[in-house]
Amino acid sequence: MSALVVPSYASGISDVPLLGDTIGDNFDRTVAAQPDAEALVEVPTGRRWTYQQLRDDVDTVALGLLANGVAKGDRVGIWAPNLAEWTLVQYATAKIGAILVNINPAYRTHELEFVLNQAEISLLVAATSFKTSDYAGMIEQVRPRCAGLRAVVLIGTSGWDELVAAGRDGDRARLTELQAALSPDDPINIQYTSGTTGFPKGATLSHHNILNNGYFVGRICGYTPADRVCIPVPFYHCFGMVMGNLGCTTNGATMVIPGPGFDPKATLHAVASERCTSLYGVPTMFIAELNDPEFESYDLSSLRTGIMAGSPCPVEVMKQVVDRMGMTEVTICYGMTETSPVSTQTRADDSLELRVSTVGRVHPHVEVKVVDPETGLTLPRGEPGELCTRGYSVMLGYWNEPEKTAESIDRARWMHTGDIGVMDSDGYVNITGRIKDMVIRGGENIYPREIEEFLYTHPDVLDAQVIGVPDAKYGEELCAWVTMREGAEPLTAESVREFSTGKLAHYKIPRYVLVVEEFPMTVTGKVRKVEMREKSVELLDLGNAAAARNA
Q: What is the pLDDT along the chain (551 residues), one digit of tens a residue?
A: 356 899 999 999 999 999 999 999 999 999 999 999 999 999 999 999 999 999 999 999 999 999 999 999 999 999 999 999 999 999 999 999 999 999 988 888 988 999 999 999 999 999 999 998 999 999 999 999 999 999 999 999 999 999 999 999 999 999 999 999 999 999 999 999 865 445 789 999 999 999 999 999 999 999 999 999 999 999 999 999 999 999 999 999 999 999 999 999 999 999 999 999 999 998 889 999 999 999 999 999 999 999 998 777 777 888 899 999 999 999 999 999 999 999 999 999 998 889 888 999 999 999 999 999 889 999 999 999 999 999 999 999 999 999 999 999 999 999 999 999 999 999 999 988 788 888 878 777 787 888 998 899 999 999 999 999 998 888 889 999 999 999 999 999 999 999 998 888 788 999 999 999 999 987 667 788 989 999 999 999 998 877 753 32
Residue 255 lies in a domain: no
Residue 61 lies in a domain: no
Residue 407 lies in a domain: no
Residues ≥6 apart with Cβ < 8 Å to 388: 368, 369, 370, 371, 414, 415, 416, 417
Q: Does the CA dihedral 462-514-199-369 come out positive or negative?
A: negative
Q: How far apart are CA 405 and CA 14, in angstroms?
A: 29
Q: What is the pLDDT at residue 193?
A: 85
Q: What is the pLDDT at residue 198?
A: 59
**Among 3, 5, 6, 2, which Cα is nearest to 427's?**
6
Q: What is the pLDDT at residue 68?
A: 98
Decide: helix, strand or coil at residue 510.
Answer: coil
Q: What is the pLDDT at residue 444?
A: 76
Residue 479 lies in a domain: yes
Residue 227 lies in a domain: no
Residue 507 lies in a domain: yes
How many domains does the chain divide into? Answer: 1
Range of the domain at 502: 439-550
* Eight-class DSSP state of 244: I
β pairing state of 201-206 and 187-193: antiparallel
pTM for the predicted model, two decimal places: 0.87
Q: How far apart are CA 320 and CA 327, in angstroms?
A: 9
> Is 366 within 8 Å of 217 (Cβ atoms)?
no
Residue 487 lies in a domain: yes
The residue type of 331 is T
Residue 108 lies in a domain: no
The strands making up 228-230's β-sheet, listed across from edge to edge, are 47-50, 38-42, 254-257, 228-230, 278-281, 305-308, 331-335, 342-345, 361-362
Report which secondary-structure segment, H or E, holds 368.
Answer: strand 366-371
β pairing state of 254-257 and 228-230: parallel
What is the CATH classification number for the domain harbouring 446? 3.30.300.30
Q: How far apart are CA 428 and CA 346, in angstroms?
A: 9
b/e code 225-262 from CB counts within 10 Å (16+ = b):
bebbbbbbbbbbbbbbbbbbbbbbbbbbbbbbbbbbeb
